Structures are given as structure tokens and as C-alpha cells.
């Protein structure tokens, strides 16, 4: 079986790592890296840490409008698919890379397998939602994390070739949990190593809604600066100048801005922290895996399964709301694990084998 995998963003590399390990030495996998995340700490580090095979195709496409980016990716992926003639095109999640890969493949009559299908927020005003919905409707195989997402697809009239297989993020989490590496420790903006305080909170914030102007980020920083311990914040490259300026202008000395971190370093920061504040779909799941209370600064639920017993709560970009949610009591039931058993990738491969054409 020959598979072309399309990925380009940080969360996709984490999922692709689990699949690549399971497929190695059994099937031929060719990786197309669109370049959507181009920073070394946002891309290269994942290939090093998680031992992802080097991409055969690197398109180097990042920045610009959604249409410009998706169109350029579509053309580049099409050329790779024409050259490779795979049995499957595998795409992950909900990025522009996902949509471009799915459209390029289906127009060439190459069957598409969509990992993390069926996730819904219920609004097409969110660009990722558009990517998910379109990709699901052109895919031959749909791999959902749980039965909840399978039900979402059934409501949209997609009932065939849908399989609830688990969450690839959990596969990668369990794999990484057994590794010890200091490949690229966290550093600040001046490349000085981060010295972790005994107690701290972990913040990630990258969504456009929270970083496109001063107001939402200022509210988030105000909340974090009032907590009883410092906050460690790996800053997305496009948000670096705004974050540094707000901390400087408002005297937010308890917020420690650092450069983006790799997957292993992020898990280390997660496991040692008090609680998590994020707008990342991936980190809220990882906080759930690690048994850490999480507050997600977003207006819609991405992973309803993580909301059990207030383990994850939505908050507005409002300092009081964030602080109130962080103060809420919660109970961690580590026996509740809805995202599978860490063998999602193996199930996906078996289903792809069974659904080969010819």
C-alpha cells in the first residue's frame, strides 16, 4: 500500500508521527510538507523528536490569505500526487493543508482518508470548520476520534465508511511519555535557557481571535499576571512583538515569554504546571491526557469529551471570566479515557488495507 500523507502544521506532525511509526516497514509512505508552519521550533523539531520520516516534498507555502495559501498548496500537492500515484492520500485535522490535500486528491480520483473527521463547532464563520466540513464530504474513509464525531457525520448524511478509531494525539502522547529527551530545551527571546519556577501556570495563545489586537491578549495577560505563581508562555512567532510590548507597557513581570517549544518540551511544561490556559485544540486534549485542569479561551467547544467534571472549561477573553474558571473546583477521574487505547494508527492502517481498490 502506497500512501501520500499531507501535513503542514504543528498538530498534524504530532498525529503523523503516530501513523508513520505504525506504517513503517509495512507500507510505503511519502510525506508532503506544505510549509504552513515554517519556523524551526514549529516544524523541524517535531521531525527530530518524534522520528518522523523526512518529507519527500517540501512546498514552502506559508502566509497570505486563505485563498492564496490553499490555491498554492493545491497546485503543489497535485504535482506530488501525479508523480507518486498513491493508493491513498491521508490528511489530518482542519487546516488549509488538509483542504488542499483532499481537493487535489479527489480531483485526481485518488481516495482520501481523513484522520480526525467529524469534529464540529457548528459555525462556518470559523475557517477551520469550513476545511473540516469540505474535507469530510470528499473523503473515502473517515476516521473519527469517538462515536460523538461519528454521530456528527451521520447528521450530515455521511453514514458509510466512517470508523470511530480513537485519537492519534493520544497515541503520540503515550509514546512520548516514555521518552526522555532534552533535544531542544525551552529558551527565552534572548536564547537564554528557561529556569522553571517551582510552581507555574502554562499558557498558549495563538488563535487570530485572541491575538489580532491588544484587547483580548491584554485581558488574558491580566488574568495570568494575577495568579499565585508565574506563567510560562511559548509565543507564536506572529504574536511575538505584541506580547512583548504588552508585557513591557503593563508591567506583566509574572509572565515569562519564551520561544516556541517542541512537542517533548511542551509535554514537560504541561506535566509540571499547576493548570493550563490555552486556545489550542491540541493542548486542551493533552492537558486532559495529563490530568491537568484546563481553561480554553474560545467561544465554542472543540472537544466536548474534555469538559467532563470541569476538567476543561470555556472562557471569554476576559480576565475575570478566566480567573473564575481557573478557581472552579474539579475532580479528575483518570479512568475516564474516551480517546482510545493508544493504538489508533494501527486500526487506521488495517481499515485502509481492507478498503484498497482492486
Give the pLDDT confidence score for residue 81 in this predicted structure: 98
Q: Is 316 exposed, middle or buried (0-12, 13-18, 19+ CB in 10 A)?
A: middle
Q: Look at residue 182 and tell me whether its pLDDT is greater than 70.
A: no
Q: Which of 90-94, 175-179, 183-187, 227-231 has the lowest mean pLDDT?
A: 183-187
Looking at CATH, the fold of the domain delimited by 2-167+340-354 is given as Rossmann fold (3.40.50)
What is the Cα–Cα distance from 79 to 61, expressed in whole angstroms? 14
Contact residues for 78 (Cβ-Cβ < 8 A; gap 6+): 104, 107, 108
Mean pLDDT of all residues in 215-239: 94
Mean pLDDT of all residues in 103-110: 98
Q: Where are the domains of the chain?
A: 2-167+340-354, 201-327
Q: Do domains 2-167+340-354 and 201-327 have the same CATH topology?
A: yes
Total number of residues shown for the chain: 358
If one compares 35 and 46, the residue with the highest pLDDT of the two is 35
Mean pLDDT of all residues in 331-337: 83
Model's pTM, two decimal places?
A: 0.90
Instruction: Encode pLDDT of 142-166 as tens digits.
Output: 999 999 999 999 999 999 999 999 9
Residue 181 confidence class, pLDDT cut points 50, 70, 90: low
> Which residues make beta-bridge pairs with 199?
none
Best CA proximity match to 237, nearest among 64, 42, 12:
42
Contact residues for 288 (Cβ-Cβ < 8 A; gap 6+): 294, 303, 305, 306, 311, 312
Q: Look at residue 180 and tell me whether its pLDDT is greater than 90.
A: no
What is the Cα–Cα distance from 210 to 239, expressed in whole angstroms? 10
Q: Look at residue 127 and tell me whether its pLDDT is greater than 80.
A: yes
Give the pLDDT confidence score for residue 252 in this predicted structure: 95
Q: Look at residue 41 and tell me whether its pLDDT is greater than 70.
A: no
**Residue 206 is among the residues annotated as catalytic for this protein:** yes
Percentage of the chain beyond pLDDT 70 is 95
Mean pLDDT of all residues in 123-129: 88
- Which residue is catalytic, options 33, 206, 250, 343? 206
What is the Cα–Cα distance from 96 to 82, expressed in whole angstroms? 20
Strands (E), the chain: 2-7, 28-33, 57-58, 88-92, 112-115, 141-144, 162-164, 201-204, 231-234, 255-258, 276-278, 294-297, 312-315
Mean of pLDDT over the chain: 91
**What class is the 201-327 domain?**
alpha beta
Amino acid at each position: 500500500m502506497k500512501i501520500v500523507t499531507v501535513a503542514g502544521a504543528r498538530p498534524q506532525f504530532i498525529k503523523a508521527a503516530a501513523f508513520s511509526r505504525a506504517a513503517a516497514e509495512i507500507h510505503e509512505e511519502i510525506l508532503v510538507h506544505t510549509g504552513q508552519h515554517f519556523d524551526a521550533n514549529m516544524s523541524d523539531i517535531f521531525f527530530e523528536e518524534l522520528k518522523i520520516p523526512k518529507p519527500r516534498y517540501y512546498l514552502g507555502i506559508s502566509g497570505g490569505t486563505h485563498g492564496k495559501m490553499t490555491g498554492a498548496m493545491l497546485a503543489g500537492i497535485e504535482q506530488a500526487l501525479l508523480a507518486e500515484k498513491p493508493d491513498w492520500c491521508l490528511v489530518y485535522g482542519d487546516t488549509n493543508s488538509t483542504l488542499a490535500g483532499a481537493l487535489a486528491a479527489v480531483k485526481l480520483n485518488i481516495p482520501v482518508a481523513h484522520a480526525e473527521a467529524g469534529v464540529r463547532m457548528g459555525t462556518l464563520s470559523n475557517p477551520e470548520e469550513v476545511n473540516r466540513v469540505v474535507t469530510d464530504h470528499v473523503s473515502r474513509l473517515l476516521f473519527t476520534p469517538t462515536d460523538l464525531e461519528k454521530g456528527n457525520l451521520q447528521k450530515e448524511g455521511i453514514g458509510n465508511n466512517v470508523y470511530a478509531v480513537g485519537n492519534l494525539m493520544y497515541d503520540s502522547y503515550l509514546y512520548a511519555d516514555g521518552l526522555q529527551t532534552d533535544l531542544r530545551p525551552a529558551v527565552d527571546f534572548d536564547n537564554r535557557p528557561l529556569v522553571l519556577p517551582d510552581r507555574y501556570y502554562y499558557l498558549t495563545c495563538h488563535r487570530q481571535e485572541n491575538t489580532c489586537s491588544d484587547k483580548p491578549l491584554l485581558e488574558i495577560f491580566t488574568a495570568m499576571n494575577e495568579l499565585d505563581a508565574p506563567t510560562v508562555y511559548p509565543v507564536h512567532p506572529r504574536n511575538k512583538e505584541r506580547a512583548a510590548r504588552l508585557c513591557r507597557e503593563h508591567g506583566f513581570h509574572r509572565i515569562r515569554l519564551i520561544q516556541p517549544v517542541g512537542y517533548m518540551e511542551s509535554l514537560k511544561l504541561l506535566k509540571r504546571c499547576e493548570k493550563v490556559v490555552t486556545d489550542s485544540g491540541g493542548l486542551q486534549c493533552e492537558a486532559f491526557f495529563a490530568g491537568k485542569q484546563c481553561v480554553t479561551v474560545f467561544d465554542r467547544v472543540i472537544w466536548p469529551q474534555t469538559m467532563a467534571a470541569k476538567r476543561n472549561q470555556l472562557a471569554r477573553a476576559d480576565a475575570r471570566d478566566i480567573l473564575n474558571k481557573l478557581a472552579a473546583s474539579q475532580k479528575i477521574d483518570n479512568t475516564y479515557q474516551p480517546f482510545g487505547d493508544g493504538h489508533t494508527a494501527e486500526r487506521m492502517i488495517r481499515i485502509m488495507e481492507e478498503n484498497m481498490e482492486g
